[in-house]
Amino acid sequence: MTQLPQDFMCRMQDMLREAYPAFLRSYEDEKAQALRVNALKGTKEEFLAKADFGSLREVAWEKNGLYYTETSDCAPGKHPFHEAGVYYIQEPSAMAPAVYLEAQPGEHVLDLCAAPGGKTTQIASYMQNQGILVCNEIHAARAKILSENVERMGIRNALVTNETPRRLAEIFDGYFDRILVDAPCSGEGMFRKNEEARGEWSLANVQLCADRQDEILDCADRMLRPGGRLVYATCTFAPAENEGSIARFLERHSEYRILEVKKYDGMSAGVPEWAYYEADGSGGGRAAGHETDGTARPCADRAENSRTAFGHTVRLFPHLVQGEGHYLAVLQKHGENPAGYQSFPANGLQKGINPKEAKEFLQFQQAFLQVDLLENAQDRLLRFGEQLYLMPERMPSINKLKVLRAGLHLGALKKNRFEPSHALALALKKEDVRQFMELGTEENARAYLGGMTLNHDGERGWYLMTYQGYGIGWGKLAGQVMKNHYPKGLRICRKV
């Protein structure tokens, strides 16, 4: 194990005092592993009835979260359920911020720093494909991974963008009901599971991250409507990036207050003194405005930034919870929108095409689907060249935005035919199609995922391939041969 940075250890010892030895010992423990069942695909109870993953234990703060122990017989990342989007493998502490966001169906929600997509897909499961979920990532390569995870989890109402927070703020002024800022940070909370993060850490980088967080939070403020909820989260222990970031934000934006939220077993309260913690250059430090012996002076003159308010924020330490290090704060913006008010993006709303321009899709839907995807959505078809998308209701215009995914990718309009997308297969259930082929065994599922052709008796045409009832891809039957349409770029060869 790579040695922890000396400056980091000095500061943590100064912060934790008598709890420091227990904190240090936690780095000798195995990291906790967990998955989150995708509520868009089915219930946790249905998954548990089908899964053979050994002993699974619930994550206290996420109703669909389950701890697992990886063994030769239990490797969730290599199971067909993973490819079907039945669950997302997610660090347990990282599940907490989206829980506290409390996103609701029909709302306008933003995940501002969204890659690789764990929290985005978690938010989407709460929204149940209703409303607008804008998930943004500033780095292009990471935005692509985000888009792929949105697809795998069968999400229909997501707009995936690759923009700067400042650019989004120009378009979405006062637009969102809820915003999650899972801020880029120094990553101290990931030291146990990511040794590379230790080598990249420095006190200077902590300050750089804190400055960046100030700018991101200011952009988030511009995009949040009056009365809206903002959840700020990091995976670091650094006071400057946690209580410090919130204190500086509240000093710039007095219209916000910290909300009191439920803390689950093992969760700690934020520390008011750490809001003004000053590093002394040796990795240690002290709280500004406090005695050097660590005893706190009254801070009533800080107005809303009181002892009680910062006690409402949440810290997760690896020696107290089964998870890595995280921090989160839940803020509410003062005011409320008038009854019936509908926020409107500066770009306006995206216009769709006439469904008659996508007759090949209409023919496919009539022949092979049991559901009408255009029911109450006649104006929501969007076309890019031959690619066809089903937009979320009242989707913002994508004019002059870098967009990777604009709702549900339906497929490609070819000459006199329609070819359904992999995203559509992952968004459908077997009840939604006229024909499906149940792969039955894990061996058959792995063969399909590897690109093998299968035999099947039935009517010609498109089939939703399913594994234990979950859609996993497309097949097309000609004669008794089921042609494999699982994307070549995703195919995997695995030993059974």
* pLDDT value of residue 340: 75
Report, in angstroms and rounded to the nearest whole number, the Rg of the chain calculated over CA atoms: 24
Contact 24, 321 (CB under 8 A): no
Using 50, 70 and 90 to split pLDDT, how confident is the model at 62? very high
- Over residues 210-231, mean pLDDT: 98
355: which residues sit within 8 A by CB, 6+ positions away?
362, 374, 378, 381
Contact 469, 438 (CB under 8 A): yes
Contact 136, 166 (CB under 8 A): no
What separation in angstroms does the CA of 84 have from each of 79, 81, 222, 452, 477?
Answer: 9, 5, 37, 17, 21
CA dist 237 and 188 (Å) reads 6
49: which residues sit within 8 A by CB, 6+ positions away?
none
217 backbone dihedrals φ, ψ, rounded to 5°:
-65, -35
The two beta strands, 132-136 and 158-161, are parallel
Interhelix angle for 243-252 vs 203-223, to 10°? 40
The answer, yes or no, to whether residue 288 has pLDDT greater than 70, is no
Give the helix/strand (H/E) hosting 338: none
* pLDDT value of residue 197: 87
Residues 198, 11, 322, 43: what is their CA dihedral angle, to the nearest 10 degrees?
A: -70
270: which residues sit within 8 A by CB, 6+ positions away?
242, 243, 246, 310, 311, 312, 313, 314, 315, 327, 329
* pLDDT value of residue 341: 78
pLDDT in tens, 401-459: 999 999 999 999 999 999 999 999 999 999 999 999 999 999 999 999 999 999 999 99
pLDDT in tens, 102-153: 999 999 999 999 999 999 999 999 999 999 999 999 999 999 999 999 999 9
The two beta strands, 436-438 and 461-467, are parallel
* pLDDT value of residue 297: 34
- Over residues 242-261, mean pLDDT: 96
Structure tokens at 162: 């690759």
Query: What number of other Cβ atoms are within 10 A of residue 98's Cβ?
Result: 29
CA dist 465 and 416 (Å) reads 24
The answer, yes or no, to whether residue 296 has pLDDT greater than 90, is no
Respond yes or no on whether the N-terminal peptide bond of residue 116 is cis (omega within 30° of 0). Answer: yes
486: closest CA among 448, 454, 445?
A: 448
User: Can you list the alpha helix ranges (DSSP code H) found in 276-394?
Assistant: 307-311, 359-368
- Over residues 78-82, mean pLDDT: 95
- Over residues 335-353, mean pLDDT: 88
Q: Give catalytic residues, as residue numbers.
A: 235
291 backbone dihedrals φ, ψ, rounded to 5°:
-65, 155
247-279 burial, b for 16+ CB within 10 Å, e for fewer? bbbbeebeebebbebebeebbbebbbbbbbbeb
* pLDDT value of residue 287: 53
Interhelix angle for 118-127 vs 140-152, to 10°? 40
Contact 64, 191 (CB under 8 A): no
Contact 7, 15 (CB under 8 A): no
pLDDT in tens, 309-328: 999 999 999 999 999 999 99
In this structure, which amino acid lies at residue 479? G
* pLDDT value of residue 298: 34
* pLDDT value of residue 38: 98
Structure tokens at 490: 């995703």
* pLDDT value of residue 277: 83
Name the pTM for this structure. 0.94
